[in-house]
Structure 1
Amino acid sequence: MKEALLLQVETYVVDLLNKQLAATNYYHNAIHTRRVVANIEELASLEACTEQETMALKLAAWFHDVGYIYTDQGHEEESVTIAISFLKQQEVPEDLLSLVEQLILATKSEFKPKHKLEAIIKDADCGHIASENFIEISGNLMKEINAKNHKHISEIEWLQQNLVFLKNHSFYSNSAKQLWQPKKEINQLEVQKKIDKLLAKEKKKDKSSRFGRGIETMFRVQLKNHIELSAIADTKANILLSVNAIIISVALSNLIPKLDSPSNLFLVYPTLILMLFSVASVVLSVLSTRPKISNVAITKEMIKEKKTNILFFGNFQKMSLQDFEWGIDYLMENEETLYNSLTKDLYYLGLVLNRKYKLLRITYTVFMFGIIISAAAFIYSYYVYFSV
């Protein structure tokens, strides 16, 4: 008889909620009602409730939120009206009807339970706070509040409200305290972790907000310009290398073999001067293009403290693949460190360019004066030799 009544109640309540409940009831719906009934069954068994008490608790659980089809504020009274009307038709005894009414009204948020049954239904109604899906279930409640109140509670604001609720909440029944309190504390820690993560994300977003497209364009253009300037310097150095190599080659093949003749002795000094300046130009050209690789072993601490730039191969060439992958991931997760590395890259490229162009300037000067002095030496030697 009692099982048949519960089946009739379940069918009636679920049908009522599915057909008449507002679409914005993302939390207070048939799913929540079924969850509360399941919690009632668990707690009633642990609290050794009588058959009559368990029946009253289950009936109250099924009907406790049906009033939402009419109103949100004071829905408990509406729920009582619907429950009593239906249960009277099923010829439920008056004493049971009175207890069901009492238990439905006990689900009010501000109500303090006075006996075991009220404590059980209060705990069952809040049993989701000990659920493994607490954050998801709580998210549905936030969605419902936002939809009904036409306002927007942010995720972090909602989680902070949940954290306060979890800290201040206490279960009333001994069984709920023993069974659900540890799970509730785990959820409290998870909420705190999620808040910390969102706050860190917002902080990171605030820090990175100053890095806009204009900043990225500046880095891109400047790095490109520096690389092009470096390529120009290398091209100039290669031209000097080629010219002086040709001069040395011609001197070695044509001039020097003729110097052993007494008639060509006047060409010895001009040839030596030409060779000396050409060799000096070659050496300076090689120095300007000679690469320099760092021998410093990069550590994770150096990356975190922004003391190095692993975007340059000369710095990370001694790192293991695992450490290098960690470093790149760290840069992608920390935008400020990434831009700091790009700044270092730009700075050290500038230092390299400064060295290259200084050496190139010296090389061109040496080459220019070498050609002038060599030519003057040849002219002077011919003049002295033929004037004698």
Structure 2
Amino acid sequence: MIAKHTEEEISKHIFKLFKEELKETYIYHNFAHTKQTADTVKELAEAYELAPDEKEDLIIAAWFHDSGYTKSPENHEEESIKMVKEYLGKGFPEKRLENICNLILSTKVGNQQKSLSEEIIHDADYVNMGKKKFEERAELLRCEWEKINNKIYSDLEWAQLQLEFLISKRFKTSVAVAKYGGRREKNIKKQRESIEKSKNDQYKIHLKEESTKAKVEKLGRGIETLYRSVYGYHMELSSMADKKANIMISINTIVVSVIITLFGSGYTFGDSEGFRHVRFVFPMLLLVITSLISVTFAILSAKPNITTKQKFELQNKDSSVLFFGNFAQLKLNEFVAHIKSLKEEKNDLYDSMTVDIYHLGGVLIKKYKLLSWSYNIFMCGLILCAIGFLGITIYSY
């Protein structure tokens, strides 16, 4: 009998207490941990052949030592003392009750153990550090702390905490040292290995992140090179088109000027046999007409076009603010704000540059089509004029 209650009755009382009042957050400090502590206390007490009263007091203290968690995790030892006093009642021997309270209070972190019984309950409370399933039980404590403290522990951080715990905590009794000390040392070694593994994993993750970052930066440089090359190519083609247009304008204006000068000087109708020379007017007139048409197309090709078909809108994804014909319609603050937003969003910037390149391509197509017409008309006029002169000459002579 233990204080007029059997151990079975006490265990049922604690089980019911935890079942009804202990929060689900406490997945480590629960009935399983309490029962393990009580069983280890009995084991160590029998090894030391303690007196029946001492052994009973230890068992009672072991069953109640974490009952205070049903009230509050802070100062739960004091709450446990209140609960054991209430359970045992006033008829329980005062000296033994004081001993039980001291045993419970000795499990508080930082308190020193002053007797063998206190050392036994201490070793029983921390017996997990000498068990094979230390890591499994530690994971339950990790989950409990994360819920209570609202904090997530990384694998490395938790392994370091457990290593510090294993090193700082030691078994107090020789029986516990003999029975569980060897496994505690293995657990220390295992935690050191876990720390090294976590560090290696973090290093690999760091290398992977750096590699990904480098790939992204390389990809970014590749994209920038692409846009730079395309823009340069467009500008070069535009410059070539303007040069070709200038050539056509110069040649055709010279041709038209020379022919008009010849007509004005009376070269064709200079003598009395005007009808004889008038036949040369037709090929020259053809050349003048084709030159005028050719120079018109060349001028249209080189002519700057800053007009837009519709008012530019910032929300319009089919037009780019980078095109001067569009941003010329905006106020300064609108233009600056839109450029700022483009700098913050790379995808929008690339999209805007893509739209700009597309429209530049459209301008180039128009330029080269006009130039093609200009060259073809000039070539046809020149060929027809030459054939006309050649035909008239052969016919006449």
Give 1:95 deviation, angstroms: 2.6
> In 1, distance between residues paired with 2:214 and 2:147?
39
1:151 aligns with 2:151: yes
1:101 aligns with 2:123: no
Give 1:28 deviation, angstroms: 0.7
> In 1, distance between residues paired with 2:156 and 2:17?
34
> In 1, distance between residues paired with 2:20 and 2:182?
37
Matches within 5 A, 1:240-251: none
Give 1:108 deviation, angstroms: 0.4
Partner SS, residue 151 of structure 1: coil
Partner in structure 1 of residue 133 of structure 2: 133
Partner in structure 1 of residue 295 of structure 2: none
Give 1:5 deviation, angstroms: 2.0
Partner in structure 2 of residue 163 of structure 1: 163
Partner in structure 2 of residue 199 of structure 1: 199
Partner in structure 1 of residue 70 of structure 2: 69
> In 2, distance between residues paired with 1:186 and 1:42?
22
Give 1:166 deviation, angstroms: 1.1
> In 1, distance between residues paired with 2:150 and 2:120?
34
Partner in structure 2 of residue 12 of structure 1: 13
Per-residue displacement from partner, 1:342-385 (whole Å, max 9, x unpaired)?
xxxxxxxxxxxxxxxxxxxxxxxxxxxxxxxxxxxxxxxxxxxx
Partner in structure 1 of residue 26 of structure 2: 25
1:209 aligns with 2:209: yes
Output the amino acid matched with 2:144: E
Partner in structure 2 of residue 294 of structure 1: none
Give 1:137 deviation, angstroms: 0.6
Partner in structure 1 of residue 111 of structure 2: 111
> In 2, distance between residues paired with 1:190 and 1:124?
22
> In 1, distance between residues paired with 2:110 and 2:210?
47
Partner in structure 1 of residue 299 of structure 2: none
Output the amino acid matched with 2:207: K
Per-residue displacement from partner, 1:151-186 (whole Å, max 9, x unpaired)?
122221111011112112221111112211111001
Identity of aligned residues (%): 29
> In 2, distance between residues paired with 1:204 and 1:116?
49
CA RMSD of aligned residues (A): 2.1
Output the amino acid matched with 1:112: Q
> In 2, distance between residues paired with 1:33 and 1:109?
17
In the superposition, the TM-score normalised over structure 2's length comes to 0.52
Matches within 5 A, 1:344-383: none
What are the ranges of 5 or more consecutive residues in structure 1 without an aligned counterpart?
220-388
> In 1, distance between residues paired with 2:98 and 2:210?
65
> In 1, distance between residues paired with 2:97 and 2:36?
22
Output the amino acid matched with 2:60: L
Partner in structure 1 of residue 38 of structure 2: 37
> In 2, distance between residues paired with 1:163 and 1:210?
30
Partner in structure 2 of residue 120 of structure 1: 120
Output the amino acid matched with 2:56: M
Instruction: Give the count of matched residue pairs.
Output: 217
What are the ranges of 5 or more consecutive residues in structure 2 without an aligned counterpart?
220-397
Per-residue displacement from partner, 1:231-275 (whole Å, max 9, x unpaired)?
xxxxxxxxxxxxxxxxxxxxxxxxxxxxxxxxxxxxxxxxxxxxx
> In 2, distance between residues paired with 1:183 and 1:10?
29
> In 1, distance between residues paired with 2:189 and 2:81?
37
Output the amino acid matched with 1:113: Q
Give 1:215 deviation, angstroms: 4.9
Give 1:58 deviation, angstroms: 0.5
Partner SS, residue 210 of structure 2: coil
Change (3 A) 1:25 1:209: same
Give 1:211 deviation, angstroms: 3.6
Matches within 5 A, 1:175-186: 175-186=175-186
> In 2, distance between residues paired with 1:37 and 1:25?
18
Give 1:94 deviation, angstroms: 2.5
1:187 aligns with 2:208: no
> In 2, distance between residues paired with 1:147 and 1:172?
31
In the superposition, the TM-score normalised over structure 1's length comes to 0.53
- Runs of 4+ in structure 1 over 6 Å off: none
Give 1:212 deviation, angstroms: 3.5
Partner SS, residue 37 of structure 1: helix
Output the amino acid matched with 1:150: N
Output the amino acid matched with 1:86: Y
Give 1:213 deviation, angstroms: 10
Output the amino acid matched with 1:37: A
